[in-house]
Amino acid sequence: MTLTGKRVRLRAFESEDLQAEHAMMNEEETLRAMLRGIPFPTSMADEQQWLGGQSSYTRGEYQFAVENEDGELIGRCGPTKVDWKNRVGELGIVIAGRWRGQGYGSEAMELLCGFCFGEMNLRKLKVAVLATNTAALRCYEANGFRHEGTLRGEVFRGGRYVDVELLARFAETDMTEE
């Protein structure tokens, strides 16, 4: 399945994406914005292994390749964890530096949320993002995510501890009190 917006397309990763994926995941700004782990650079072998693990035959944890209107790989997004019992999905997105700040991430997130609600039958989507990543916070808020909490001093980045913001969005048909 391919999800198509005005300027963005979400599709399956292909082996031809390896070089661009490797370059994107080794950008310093991308590494520093990652929530978990130490921002080590990734090897081509590691990216090839990750890419090989992207299969539609999963239990919901899947990353779409994000491409722009010219067919260039500009990022990835998808559910990183799914709680099927409670119908809750955790999402992640990475947009390569060259294409940040141009609305591609927001459009990709809009398509992804529609897929998660409409095809995966999830009722709640949530994200965790470094408080210093103001562009990501704006992207999530523009897509209907609302602040649910703050984890104070949660992640060590750039020589200091940084807060992590928790945001969530409910399906429009969900009757949960907000």
Q: Is 123 helix (H, G, I), strand (E, B) or coil?
A: coil
What pLDDT, on the 0 to 100 scale, is given for residue 178?
47
Helix (H) or strand (E) holding 110: helix 104-118
Residue 176: which pLDDT band, with cuts at 50, 70 and 90?
A: low
Average pLDDT of every residue of the chain: 91
* Dihedral (CA of 107, 22, 11, 145) sign: negative
Give the pLDDT confidence of 5-37 residue by residue, as tens digits: 999 999 999 989 989 999 998 888 888 888 777
Q: In 133-173, where does DSSP find H-type helix?
A: 134-142
Domains in the chain: ranges and CATH: 3-125 (3.40.630.30)
Percent pLDDT > 90 in the chain is: 71
Is residue 174 pLDDT above 60, yes or no? no
Instruction: Give the largest CA-CA distance in the chain.
Output: 46
**Rama region for 73: left / alpha / beta (φ>0; ψ in -120 to 50; rest):** beta
49-53, 164-168, 173-177: range with highest mean pLDDT: 164-168
Helix (H) or strand (E) holding 79: strand 73-83
pTM assigned to the model? 0.90
Q: Give Cα 103 distance to the centre of its chain.
A: 14
Question: What average pLDDT does the segment 40-45 reach?
Answer: 89
Give the pLDDT confidence of 116-162 residue by residue, as tens digits: 999 999 999 999 999 999 999 999 999 999 999 999 999 999 899 99
Q: How many CA atoms lie within 13 A of 77 on its CB side?
A: 30
What pLDDT, on the 0 to 100 scale, is given for residue 127?
98
